[in-house]
Amino acid sequence: MDQIETESASEPILSIRNLSHHFPIGRKIRRAQLHAVDDINLDLYQGEIVALVGESGSGKSTLARLLARVYRPTSGEILFEGRNIARIRSRRDLLSYRSKIPLIFQDPFSSLNPVHSVGHGLLRTLKLHRPELSREERRDTAIATLESVGLSPASEVLNCYPYELSGGQRQRIGFAQAISCNPRLILADEPVSMLDVSVRIGLLNLMTDLRNSGISMLYITHDIASARYVADRLVVMYAGNIVETGPTESVLGNPTHPYTRLLLSAVPDPMVAIKATAGDIGDPPRVIDPGEGCRFRWRCPLAMEICSVVTPPLLPVSEGHAAACHVTVRSVSENL
């Protein structure tokens, strides 16, 4: 990238504008479109952890892969330091983007190649992204990186095979690969969901430490409690749309969108007695050719006529906090 990097924190690292991605499904005669994400607008800044919260079918993993440039979006754009990533052509520039915005995977059992030592991926990453390093320097950097994610003795770990490491250790290798190239923002796709509960905290703490050292993170999860633990901002997704966004405490303290309220009420909390909820049995969201209107309306206790006709826009609720609901958001202006 030949851009001059602006140091000011007010410039977003990634800027997502009207991003949509559809997958064609079905046979040629009855071809339909699966709207994985629709019309996403989001800015990600330096030194923050943003949690992307949603259930399966919400589009959060698709969004992560769009940002990692695994897919090419159907429409809209993603700007990295002001430049559209879809226009990155040269291999050198693409490698540079990938080192600044790495992706961490969910499954510790399939994210490492079982026939190679865990150092293999790390050393290859360094060879490809930091060609200025000599072989010795690469090895030293790899060892230092492993130590910084809490694995020791790092020189031994480098030669271990994945089956010799626990799930938590393997996820740390994933983090090591991501930070080895001085990233700006890490895309973490459910990094702790497949780990034991007592191991998760260690990794969540590692994430906050990385944030404190200046690396931003997009933390994708379905677990709103862990999102609260690490995130500065929350973005709630449903059926491919962002339904609510804002500072964590603001969203949790004043959940505006009915889906956010439903999510919060469903989180198990030992200290709160159960109120038997009227049967929302968690039907999957409708994302195939959904058309206009709010996609939550079939499950929403507050749905009105307008909800089937007009897709609700994201409107401000308070400072930095916005939600997309015709009913619960009182619009400032009268122009609805």
Partner 1 sequence: MTAVLEVNGVPEKPDHVRQIRRGSLSNFWRALRSSKKAIVGSGILVVFTFLSLFPGLIAHDNPSAETYLPSLGTSSAHLLGTTSYGQDIYAQVIYGTRVSLIIAIVAGLLTTALSVIIGVSAAYLGGFADGVLSTITDIFLVLPAFPLMIVIAAYSKNGGFTIIIAVLVVTGWSYGARQLRSQALSLRNRDFLLAAQLRGERKWRIIVTEILPNMTSLIVASFLGAAVYAVLAAAGLQFIGLGSVNTDSWGTMLYWAQNNDALLTGSPLWAIVPGLGIGLMGGAFALLNYAFDEVNNPALRPVRRKAVSS
Partner 2 sequence: MILEVNDLCVDYVSPQGTARAVDTVNFSLDAGEFLSIVGESGCGKSTLLFSIAQLLSPPAELVGGSVIFKGENLVTLDKNSLRAVRWRDLSVVMQSAMNALNPVLTIRAQFVDVMHAHGQKDDEESDKRFAEVLRLVGIDAVHLRSYAHQLSGGMRQRVMIAMALLLSPDLIIMDEPTSALDVVAQRSLMVQIKELQEKLGFAVIFVTHDISLVSNFSDKLIVMYAGSVVEDGPTREIFEHPSHPYTQGLLSAFPSIRGPKVRLKGIPGSPPSLTQLPAGCPFHPRCAYAMESCSTVRPPVTPVGDVKVRCLLFENAEVHVGSD
Binding site for partner 2 (CB under 8 A): 55-56, 166-169, 196-202, 204-205, 208, 222-226, 228-229, 252, 262-274, 276-277, 279-284
**Site membership for partner 1, residue 246 (CB under 8 A):** no
Q: Which of 52, 64, 112, 204 binds partner 1 (CB under 8 A)?
A: 112
Kindly state the smallest distance separating residue 208's Cβ from partner 1, in Å: 14
Total of residues contacting partner 1 (CB under 8 A): 42
Kindly state the smallest distance separating residue 125's Cβ from partner 1, in Å: 5
Kindly state the smallest distance separating residue 172's Cβ from partner 2, in Å: 12
Pick one of partner 2, partner 1, none as the site partner of residue 129 (Cβ within 5 to 8 A by kind). Answer: partner 1
d(CA 73, CA 79): 13
Q: Site mask, partner 1, residues 198-237, x = CB under 8 A?
A: ----x-----------------------------------
Give 292's Cβ-side CA count (13 Å radius).
8
| Contact assessment for residue 246 and residue 317, using Cβ atoms and an 8 Å cutoff | yes
Q: DSSP code of 288?
A: B
226-245 burial by CB neighbour count: b if 16+ within 10 A, else e? bbbbbbbbbbbbbbbbbbbb
Q: Which of 59, 73, 168, 290 binds partner 1 (CB under 8 A)?
A: 168
Helical pair 135-148 and 167-179, crossing angle rounded to 10 deg = 130
Paired sense of beta strands 185-189 and 216-221, if any: parallel
d(CA 43, CA 60): 15
Give 163's Cβ-side CA count (13 Å radius).
3
Kindly state the smallest distance separating residue 241's Cβ from partner 1, in Å: 26
d(CA 304, CA 286): 18
Kindly state the smallest distance separating residue 214's Cβ from partner 2, in Å: 19
Closer to partner 2 by CB, 78 or 231: give it.
231
**Site membership for partner 1, residue 75 (CB under 8 A):** no
d(CA 16, CA 58): 17
CA angle, 34 then 40 then 45, to 5°: 140
Task: State in Å, rounded, how far the first CA of the chain is from the last one.
Answer: 42
Kindly state the smallest distance separating residue 332's Cβ from partner 2, in Å: 29
| Contact assessment for residue 15 and residue 67, using Cβ atoms and an 8 Å cutoff | no
Q: Which of 152, 212, 213, 277 binds partner 1 (CB under 8 A)?
A: 152
Residues in 173-202 at the binding interface with partner 1, rule: CB under 8 A: 177, 196, 202
Q: Which parts of this chain interact with partner 1 (CB under 8 A)?
A: 68, 70, 91, 94-95, 98, 102-103, 105-107, 110-116, 121, 124-125, 128-129, 150-153, 156-157, 160-161, 163-169, 172, 177, 196, 202
